[in-house]
Amino acid sequence: MAMEFEERLRDRDAWSIGDGCSAERVLGLLSTKTVFLVVRECFYGTTRFEDFVTRIQTSAPAVSRALKQLESAQIVTRVPYQETGRRARNEYRLTAAGEDLLPVFLSLMRWGDKYLQGGRPPLSFVEADTGRTVAVRVTTAPAPEATSDTIQIRLNPARQSEGEGQSEGEGQSEGEGN
């Protein structure tokens, strides 16, 4: 099954988007595993350079390149901070354009949960106030949008019951995992 082209676009050899393809441009921007994982970590609340290096488990130069690429694309912005007695440093935070990657991020996670994790995802993404599972859907009707600050990440209940990484009394959740 595929999308349908309007009549004037059905002869695929008669036209070309060329460099104007948005999917191609996004893939160019998020072209490395490190860049994508930096975005993931921003959604997970990571802001400091050293923490990106530790959590992504890659080299400092790779993280530096990824942050520069995301900053030049206005996906992240630097925010200065200074701890008492230390030199000024920068934190990295998602911009509005970065936040708009949330459905992309969640869609890729959901696809990976279904097809690469055998339907047993390690994490659940739920609405913090209600515990309802966050879903990403293609729709023609406007639907309420969740933002990253309204989503809580939990260990998937199916994995909890198997004793994977749960401390006693940790994060019980209803709904399916993501």
Classify strands 76-81 and 89-94 as parallel, antiparallel or unpaired: antiparallel
Same domain, residue pair 107 and 153: yes
Q: Contact, 109 vs 178, CB < 8 A?
A: yes
Facing residues of 153 across strands? 125
Joined together, the tokens standing for residue 157 give: 């209940």
Mean pLDDT confidence for 1-13: 84
Joined together, the tokens standing for residue 156 give: 């998937």
Same domain, residue pair 151 and 135: yes
Q: What percent of the chain has pLDDT over 70?
A: 87
Same domain, residue pair 92 and 117: no
Candidates 112, 90, 104; CA nearest to 39 is: 104
The neighbour count for residue 93, using CB atoms within 10 Å, is 15
Q: How many domains does the chain have?
A: 2
Q: 56 falls in which pLDDT band (50, 70, 90)? A: very high
Joined together, the tokens standing for residue 58 give: 């890659």
pLDDT tens for residues 80-136? Answer: 998 899 999 999 999 999 999 999 999 999 999 999 998 788 998 999 999 898 888
Same domain, residue pair 105 and 93: no
